[in-house]
Amino acid sequence: MADNVKPRVKVPSKASAGEVVTLKTLISHPMESGQRKDKDGNLIPRSIINRFTCEFNGAMVIDVTLEPSISTNPYFEFDAKVDASGDFKFTWYDDDGSVYEDAKSIEVA
């Protein structure tokens, strides 16, 4: 597992029914591209987050494939329409098989 991997998400705690809310996510990760070489000229192996998903009450909101050119600490900002209270579940998939998760609930008045 890459060092210092820590997911963070920002979701409004309240919304009105049918409102479009903005979600922000950030995960600290080196996103080593696999193209760089170390001091001795050896290739540094690729180590990136290759997939990111967000689900709301089990329904997929966004499903992203990440490629090696994405920079350190990938940041996503996207909108979702919420009709009812529930939980946003965020999942990041690492090249090495690690899965990082975070969740935030939202209350719809």
Partner 1 sequence: MTLRLRTTTFVAAAALCAGLAPALAEPADAELVINDEVTIKTVAPAAEHLKGHLDTVYSGWLFREDETRAMEMDDFDNPNMVFAEQAMEVWSTPEGTENKSCADCHGAIEEGMMGVRAKMPKINAAGDLWSLENYVNDCRTNRMGAEAWKWNSQDMKNMTVAISVQSRGMPVAVEIDGPAQSHWEKGKEMYYTRYGQLELSCANCHEDNYGNFIRADHLSQGQVAGFPVYRLKDANIVSIHQRFVGCIRDTRAETFAAGSQEFIDLELYVASRGYGLDIEGAGVRP
CB of 22 to partner 1, least distance (A): 11
Q: Where are the beta strands (DSSP E) in 17-85?
A: 19-28, 49-56, 59-65, 75-82
The Cα 48–Cα 58 span in angstroms is 26
Q: Is 10 in the site for partner 1 (CB under 8 A)?
A: yes
- Contact pick of 1, 6, 17, 34 for partner 1 (by CB under 8 A): 6
Site for partner 1 in 27-56 (CB under 8 A): 28
Under DSSP, the state recorded for 97 is: S
Using the minimum distance from each CB to partner 1, give the nearer residue, 6 or 36: 6
Token duo for residue 70:
């994405």
Q: Give the side-chain half-sphere CA count within 13 A for 103.
A: 8
**Integer Cα distance of 87 and 25 in angstroms:** 15
Q: Judged by CB, which is closer to partner 1: 44, or 84?
A: 44
Q: Which member of 1, 8, 14, 34 binds partner 1 (CB under 8 A)?
A: 8
Q: Where does this chain bind partner 1 (CB under 8 A)? A: 4, 6, 8, 10, 24, 26, 28, 71-73, 75
